[in-house]
Structure 1
Amino acid sequence: MGNKMATRSPRLRQIKSKNGDVVDSYHELNNTAHFPIARARPRQLESWTTGIYPVEILHNDHERSGYVKVHYIGWNKKYDETIKTEEIVTLPRPFTTFSKKLAVAIKESLGPCSKVDSLVKLKLPISEEEYNLLSNSGTPHKVTRTKTVYKISSRNQLNHYLGEGWDYRICNEECDNIYVLTSTVKFYLHVRKPLEDYQLFPDHVEKYRIDRGFQLTFSFVRKCGNRSDVNKLLNSDKL
C-alpha cells in the first residue's frame, strides 16, 4: 500500500507590467513583456571518437559470461561500462626512446635506501608529443596557471607505457624489494627557463637566450619490502 498525498491546486502566475500593475494577458503589455530567462552556464564538452581507448578492467560480469566491466582511463567514472571480453585488445608497448629512459630512471631510483618512505623526484627533458602519450595514462589532479599535475589510481595505468613491473625492483635472491607507492605518483610538464649567454663580436658583446624546451617532473614515494610482499607486487592494482 502506498501513502496518499494531498493534491495541490496549480499556482497561478500573475502577469505584471513594469510599474507593478497586474494585467490579464501579455497582449495588454503591448508585446513588451519581459519573460524570465536563465543565464547560460558554461558546460564542459566531452565527446567520443571512433578508436581505441586505454581501459582498466574492474571486474568480470557475474551475470553474463564473457563480459567485463571496464573503466576508461582519463575519463569520468560515469562512462564505465560492461563490454564483451573480445572487444579488449592488447597493444604492444610503444617502447619509445623516452619511455625506456624514464623506466630505467625509475628502476635506478629504487636502489637500496636507508630512509623509509623517502620522496623521489625525477626531472628529465621531454618533447611535448612524448608527454601527451604519457599524460593520456594519468588523471588530472591539480591545475595551476603554469601546469597540470597528473596522478594515477592504479599502477596498471602506466603498464602500457613503462611495461609490467615498472614500479618495483627486486634487490636480491631473498626477494628484498623496493617499490613505488602508487597513490603518491605525480607528474607534470613545464617549460624550462631559457639559458642566458653572450655572443662575442670584435667590438661588443650581445646577450641572447637559448631555448631549453620542456621538462618532465615525475615524483613518488618509495617503500622497502621483503618476501612477504611478492604476491602484492605481482597481483595488486595498488602498492
Structure 2
Amino acid sequence: MGNKMEASRSRLRHIKNRNGDVLESYHELNNTAHLPRARPRKVPETSWTTGIYPVEVVESDQSRSGYVKVHYIGWNKKYDDTIEAENIITLPRPSTAFSKTLALAIKESLGPYVKADSLVKIKLPITEEEYKKLSNCGAPHKVTRTKTIYKLSKRSQLNHYLGEGWDYRIVNEECDNFYILTSTVKFYMHTRKPLEDYVLYPDHVERYQLERGNQLTFSFVRMAGNRSDVQKLLNSNQL
C-alpha cells in the first residue's frame, strides 16, 4: 500500500506556466500579468471592391494627358487617386425643378438631427403632369377611393427621376451615413380639400373656396449606418 502511494505521488504533474515556471496553484496560472505582451496586428483598412464610387475631380495630371486626380467622396484624402478621365461616368441627376426639390428634401431628412429607424413623411405640392413622371418609376401597391399608393422593388427605379444616390447621405469623412430602406418607400398624390374663405361686404357675407391643388406624400423609414455599409450603399439593389 505504501509503495503504491509513493508511486502515485511521483507521477503528480506540476502546474507550469507558458515560461515553464512551476506554480503553486491554478489561480497563479490564470494571472497572466507577468507574461510578455505583443502588439496587436493592425487591422487592414477596408479594401476597394468592384463598384462605382462618387468622386470629384481635384485637378488634371500635367504629366500624363487624359489623366485626372480625383477624390472619392466620403473617403479619406489618402485614397485620392489619378485615373483616366474616360473612366469617370456621369450619372443621372434630377431632371426637373420638382425632382430637384424632392431630391433635396429627401437629403435634408437624412441627417443626424432626425431619429434613426423612424418614419419620415415629405409633403410637397405637385402637378398631375409631374406626378405622372414620378409614378412611372414605381409600381401600384394599394388603391383606395382617393389615391393610388406606389412602392419600389428596386432602389434604381427612382435613379432616373431623382438621380444616383438619392436614397442615402454620407455625412462625414468617417463615412457615417443615413439611408432609406427600399421596401418602406411609399408615395401617392391626393387632391387637397379647398380652403374656405369669407369676404365681408357692408350688407352681406360671401363664402369662397380656394383650390389648393394636388399634394405629394413621399414616406420612408430612415436608418443609420457607418463605413461598413458603404459597399451596400453603392452596389446593392435594395437597402
Instruction: Please give the range of the TM-score, normalised by the shorter of the 2 chains.
Output: 0.5 to 0.7
Counterparts of 1:93 and 1:222, CA distance in 2: 22
Deviation at 1:93, TM superposition (A): 5.1
Counterparts of 2:109 and 2:120, CA distance in 1: 7
Q: Tell me, what secondary structure is at the counterpart of 1:183?
A: helix
Relative distance call for 1:94 and 1:164 in structure 2 (3 A) is closer
What residue in structure 2 maps to residue 81 of structure 1? none
Residue 88 of structure 2 is aligned to residue 99 of structure 1: no
What residue in structure 2 maps to residue 127 of structure 1? 127
Relative distance call for 1:140 and 1:190 in structure 2 (3 A) is same
Relative distance call for 1:179 and 1:94 in structure 2 (3 A) is closer
Is the contact between residue 92 and residue 159 of structure 2 (CA under 8 Å) also seen in structure 1? no
Please identify, of 196-205 and 180-189, the stretch whose mean Cα deviation from structure 2 is larger.
196-205
For structure 1, list consecutive stretches of 5 or more residues without a partner in the other structure: 1-89
Relative distance call for 1:100 and 1:176 in structure 2 (3 A) is same
Count of aligned residue pairs for this structure pair: 150
Q: Tell me, what secondary structure is at the counterpart of 2:137?
A: coil
Aligned-partner residue type, residue 215 of structure 1: Q
**TM-score normalised to structure 1 length:** 0.60
What residue in structure 1 maps to residue 26 of structure 2? none
**TM-score normalised to structure 2 length:** 0.60
Q: Report sequence identity in percent.
A: 77
Counterparts of 2:178 and 2:161, CA distance in 1: 20
What residue in structure 2 maps to residue 223 of structure 1? 223
Counterparts of 1:159 and 1:169, CA distance in 2: 15
What residue in structure 2 maps to residue 172 of structure 1? 172
Aligned-partner residue type, residue 137 of structure 2: S
Matches within 5 A, 1:48-59: none
Is the contact between residue 194 and residue 210 of structure 2 (CA under 8 Å) also seen in structure 1? yes
Counterparts of 2:93 and 2:228, CA distance in 1: 30
Q: Which has the larger radius of gyration?
A: 2
Matches within 5 A, 1:203-222: 203-222=203-222
Q: Tell me, what secondary structure is at the counterpart of 2:100?
A: helix
Matches within 5 A, 1:30-69: none
What residue in structure 1 maps to residue 156 of structure 2? 156
Aligned-partner residue type, residue 184 of structure 2: T
What residue in structure 1 maps to residue 117 of structure 2? 117
Counterparts of 2:125 and 2:171, CA distance in 1: 28
Residue 194 of structure 2 is aligned to residue 194 of structure 1: yes
